[in-house]
């Protein structure tokens, strides 16, 4: 998940966002290793939550960095160190190629085209954009949002809502949405809000101890856009809904007319901090913790749905989407 200056889960880092050292310092493998280790030690947000002994990991991997002769030998050592944190928001970019030690998808594969063909009369999609929409029934619309990354596409949400006249319910599909900009997620939720309200809070690392954090800052959603929908929303989620998409789930739930349907979300939040090393590598890692309105964190846990139902691979193979079917059943009962 990113705010205006960062992105979600395992995404390419476009450039440096503040070097952690000044010019003239050595770029030897051990010096670069020590910079990464120390930077996370001071700023990474999930050591306590993950019960990670960072000092012990440093003691294991630092001798390997001492023995490294060049960047080629150093790269797998740094990735090995970072992999112990099991965090999708951690990545290392070398020569424009981004690697993350934790990119494994969870759950079954997903083919939206088959869903459109079977369940949705597709009305529109936008070339290069993340939004597609149509009718599941004459009175239930369908809106898919593939990502909250990028810019210039929020008006597509307004176009989609305007292009679904006469609906009383709307299925919003954020399965396999791996996040992006928090601002985009909140702005989309604003199309469904009739007032400003708090939906979550966030705290940032602000001291040398792994338990040093700022006071909670409220995160709010406000009405946004030129089109609004106040009917019942059925929000489809799965294990690969994470980062800014999870903030979207929290915002939509707070509105009071949303039912989440499907599987628990991925449980990977936290705003990434991007750094640059002397050798030109860049890397990112979370520096914050997100909390629900109840004050609990969902990192490595996820957000459970209101109406739980898993989609099995055998269902996908047979063109059956049990989650859309559950949402349609709920819409018919309201």
pLDDT digits (tens, 9 = 90+) for 77-104: 999 999 999 999 999 999 989 888 765 5
pLDDT at 25: 57
Could you read off the pLDDT of 226-235 as tens digits, one per residue? Answer: 999 999 999 9
328 has a pLDDT exceeding 70: yes
- What is the DSSP secondary-structure string of 110-172? --HHHHHHHH-EEEEE-TTSSEEEEEEETTEEEEEE--B-SSS-HHHHHHHHHTSTT-SEEEE
**How many helices (H) and strands (E) would you count in the chain?**
10, 14
Instruction: Work out the pLDDT band at 127, boundaries 50, 70, 90.
Output: confident
pTM metric for this prediction: 0.87
Q: Which residue has the tokens 């440093």?
A: 58
- Stated length of the chain: 334
All structural domains of the chain, each given as residue ranges with its CATH number in brackets, are 112-272+286-333 (3.90.226.10)
105 has a pLDDT exceeding 60: no
């Amino acid at each position: 998940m990113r705010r205006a200056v960062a992105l979600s889960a395992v995404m390419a880092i476009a450039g440096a966002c503040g070097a952690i050292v000044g010019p003239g310092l050595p770029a030897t493998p051990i010096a670069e290793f020590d910079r990464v280790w120390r930077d996370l030690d001071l700023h990474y947000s999930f050591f306590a939550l993950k019960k990670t002994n960072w000092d012990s990991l440093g003691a294991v991997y630092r001798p390997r960095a001492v023995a490294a002769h060049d960047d080629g030998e150093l790269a797998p050592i740094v990735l090995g160190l970072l992999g112990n944190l099991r965090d999708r928001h951690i990545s290392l970019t070398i020569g424009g190629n981004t690697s993350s030690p934790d990119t494994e998808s969870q759950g079954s594969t997903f083919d939206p085209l088959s869903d459109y063909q079977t369940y949705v009369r597709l009305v529109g999609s936008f070339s290069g954009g993340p939004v597609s929409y149509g009718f599941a029934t004459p009175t239930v619309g369908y809106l898919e949002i593939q990502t909250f990354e990028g810019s210039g596409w929020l008006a597509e949400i307004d176009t989609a809502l305007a292009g679904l006249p006469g609906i009383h319910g709307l299925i919003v599909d954020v399965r396999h949405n791996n996040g992006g900009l928090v601002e985009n997620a909140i702005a989309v939720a604003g199309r469904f809000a009739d007032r400003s309200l708090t939906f979550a809070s966030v705290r940032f690392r602000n001291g040398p101890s792994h338990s040093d954090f700022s006071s909670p800052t409220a995160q709010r959603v406000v009405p946004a856009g030129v089109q609004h929908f106040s009917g019942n929303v059925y929000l489809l989620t799965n294990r690969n809904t994470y980062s800014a998409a999870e903030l979207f789930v929290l915002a939509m739930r707070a509105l009071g007319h949303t039912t989440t349907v499907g599987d628990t979300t991925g449980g990977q939040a936290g705003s990434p901090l991007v750094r640059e090393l002397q050798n030109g590598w860049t890397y990112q890692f979370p520096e914050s913790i997100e909390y629900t309105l109840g004050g609990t964190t969902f990192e490595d846990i996820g957000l459970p749905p209101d109406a739980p139902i898993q989609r099995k691979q055998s269902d996908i193979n047979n063109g059956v989407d049990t989650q859309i079917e559950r949402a349609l059943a709920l819409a018919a009962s309201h």
